[in-house]
Amino acid sequence: MKILFATNNLHKLEEVQAIIGNQFDIQTLEEVGLYEDIPETGDTFEANAKQKSDYLVDKLNMDCFADDSGLEIDALHGEPGVYSARYSGSRDMEKNIELVLQKMEGITDRSARFRTVISLQLDAQNYFFEGAIEGTIINSKVGTKGFGYDPIFIPNGYDKTFAEMSADEKNSISHRAIAVKKLAEFLSETKKS
């Protein structure tokens, strides 16, 4: 089965492809010739994920799924949250991380989570799949792997950041892996019936 992943984020694409393996054939926006920003103006991950998948269905009339995700920090009342990609006003992750670390200076409650919501549009129906992983925000960046806020996030039960983990290790526990496995299970079941 072929299914389009509505993302311009190549790190997400790589992770989802690795998690899904050869169960499904993930089609990319490049493969369908769509080179444009997909609007996301909602104030929840769910609304944004749906907006992205709806946009693609309207545009291409193809079944697809979208991932909206981000980092929620308790002491910052859930920020950066849906603003994760542009927290400092731009997509520059150096600046976004710097702003988070600056806001977290002197704060002892370091608890946070990564959250992913996937919106699937299949046969004109909409389905959601969610994943979250709890952890803590450290004081400075550690590690060079992964992407986004990975260098400042240590998942609970581990002593290293996502950015110090191999792709396989991150993909075995991440918020995205939890959501994508639910999506894959649903697609397998739906395909059978």
> By the criterion CB under 6 A, which residues form the site for ligand ITT?
7-9, 12, 38, 40, 52, 67-70, 84-85, 114, 146-150, 162, 174, 176
CA atoms of 180 and 153, how far apart (whole Å): 20
Nearer to ligand ITT, 111 or 188 (CB): 111
Residues 78 and 64: their CA atoms lie apart, in Å, by 28
Q: Is 68 annotated as a binding residue?
A: yes
80: how many CB neighbours lie within 10 A of its CB?
A: 22
Nearer to ligand ITT among residue 133 and residue 188 (C-beta) = 133
Q: How far is it, in rounded angstroms, from Cα 66 to Cα 8?
A: 10
Q: Is 68 a catalytic residue?
A: yes
The distance of closest approach from Cβ of residue 88 to ligand ITT in the complex, given in angstroms and rounded to an integer, is: 11
The residue annotated as part of the active site, out of 68, 74, 123, 168, is 68
Q: How many CB atoms lie within 10 A of CB 13?
A: 17
106 vs 157, which CB is nearer to ligand ITT? Answer: 157
- The distance of closest approach from Cβ of residue 38 to ligand ITT in the complex, given in angstroms and rounded to an integer, is 6
Residue with tokens 């792709």: 167
Run of H or E residues at 70 = strand 64-73
| Residues that are catalytic | 68
**Residues contributing to the annotated binding site:** 7-12, 68-69, 147-150, 170, 175-176
